Amino acid sequence: MEVSKQKESQFEILSIAEVSASSSDTSFCKSEPVCARFGSGSGFSKLRFGQESETSADIAFDLRISQLFKLGPAESLCISEASEANKEKAYSRGISIQFKNEEESRAFHCAFEQWKTEVVVQGSPLPNGVVSTSKSKFDDKIEASSAKMYFHYYGQLLHQQNMLQDFVRTGTYYAAVIENRADFLGRVVVDVGAGSGILSLFAAQAGAKHVYAIEASEMAEYAKKLIAGNPSLSERITVIKGKVEEVELPVKADILISEPMGTLLVNERMLESYVIARDRFLVPNGKMFPTVGRIHVAPFSDEYLYMEIANKAIFWQQQGYFGVDLTPLQRSAYEGYFSQPVVDAFDPRLLVAPAISHVINFTSIKEEDLYEIDIPLRFTSSASTRIHGLACWFDVLFNGSTVPRWLTTAPGAPTTHWYQLRCVLSQPLYVMPGQEITGRLRLVSHKAQSYTIYLRLSATVGDVLQTSSGKLDLKEPYYRMSQPQAYSLAQDQQPNQLLQAQQDSFCNL
């Protein structure tokens, strides 16, 4: 059952029973079907219970002071808070509600939250959008200050414009949806973290029956405006303001669509929300766009980058800076600069070994598996050089029924707003051709919506074992955008063989 967008929403309840405020006994019980009506009156929203044929209600709740609790798959409890004059009671009235099935229960809860939080203008509620204020799992694992900054950032149009103008990103999403129209036609779609609503509009263009666009930031208000400005599509899109961990939907989705990728795929930890949305909203065997993500890593050699970072700490070598010796902080500054992952576009010819991949299947991975990602490393060097660290990038697959399509951020490919990422080690390693390089890359999530990166690389030259390790914060990268970003290959040069091996593996997924 879909939530009505009219001035009144109506549900048929299997039975209700009034619960006494002083005990668990019920004062009355209606076992015959009862009509529950959501509506507005006197400037605020109300919930009324009564017989469908009756104009008056047996029981009425002021939704401003009411709460709804789920007791079971098809049973809930609605309570009204005590008045100021009756504070000795925990609540003034409680109703136990029995639904026909779990789907009816879910639809009722969605309507309750929507009517409870809608703004009333001239006696009519604004129908498009709902806010949930309850504490959720998101609040438990993410610092409030980080979440505030995160939603503030994505609530600004200039940042949405930056993503929309990434034509590789936006164009790939559009192609993935439109080319796989059969997956969307007549289906219910949930857009997770909808932002401006562009993906919801794509899904509607592809013939979706209805799209629920969930967005927690203030961008939800802009999304409503953008969607309303496209009237041929807007009737099939509902914007819901809230976190996917908190909102309720009236129906299950046939397909999820989202852009949950951050730097190195996992930054911002939105992949976890994407997986939670899958578990909460998606029908069994429903589709996810994107379907699979892969993190690719390879050792690189870049003497210029290494010296650029090391030279930043020279400032702290001064012993007479306005009469002050800065050298006690020189080592800490040096380590601090190497704790920043470098985000830029680099020449793929800097790679010194074929990349290896870590696959994340969004359709099956558990949310908890994203808390810590452990990637064993084993490479074979293709040159005699110094290794300065590990280069990283990602791609995602939209596994459509008609045309599977990849979105890649690989070096040498058209540049996206994600660029690539490099973890630079403070101590380079010397390797020879054919030399084995081993190590481990660990990504450990933290409450600032990002990850701590632990990197270790080892190589044995002769009888000498070299090991270099680093600890980096993905939350605080060094954006090296002032450097040249275009690395076009010479016309007579063959495509990079190291990347070619990776492209050949696409069909093996």
Q: Which residues are catalytic?
A: 259, 268
Cβ atoms of 376 and 440 closer than 8 Å: yes
Note whether 296 and 393 are within 8 A (CB): yes
Q: How far apart are CA 8 and CA 111, in angstroms?
A: 10
Residues 6+ apart with CB under 8 A from 501: 354, 355
CA separation, residue 458 to residues 338, 467, 472 (Å): 18, 4, 18
- Report the 3 state secondary structure along 81-95: ECCHHHCCCCEEEEE
Query: Which residue is associated with the tokens 């680099």?
Result: 346
- Spatial contact of 316 and 454, defined as CB atoms under 8 Å apart: no
> How far apart (Å, rounded) are the C-alpha atoms in residues 196 and 159?
10
Question: Do 130 and 119 contact (CB within 8 A), yes or no?
Answer: no
Could you give the CA distance from residue 369 to residue 279 in angstroms, rounded to a whole number? 14
Taking the alpha carbons at both ends of the chain, their separation in whole angstroms is: 37
Alpha-helical regions (H) of 3-101? none
Q: How would you class 119 by CB atoms within 10 Å of its CB: exposed for 0-12, middle for 13-18, buried for 19 or more?
A: exposed
Which neighbouring-strand residues pair with 123? none
Helix residue ranges, H only, 84-237? 102-117, 137-141, 144-154, 157-164, 167-178, 181-184, 198-205, 219-228, 231-234
Q: CA torsion, points 423, 429, 432, 434, in degrees to nearest 10?
A: -50
Largest CA distance in the chain: 91
Here the tokens at position 442 are 């660990």
Rounded to the nearest 5°, which phi and psi values hold at 87? -75, -10
Residues found in the chain: 509
Alpha carbon 376 to chain centroid, angstroms: 26
Two tokens, residue 46: 């109300």
What is the distance between the alpha carbons of residues 126 and 118, in angstroms, rounded to a whole number? 6
Q: Which residue from 254, 182, 176 is spatially nearest to 212, judged by alpha carbons?
A: 254
- Residues 39 and 48: their CA atoms lie apart, in Å, by 8
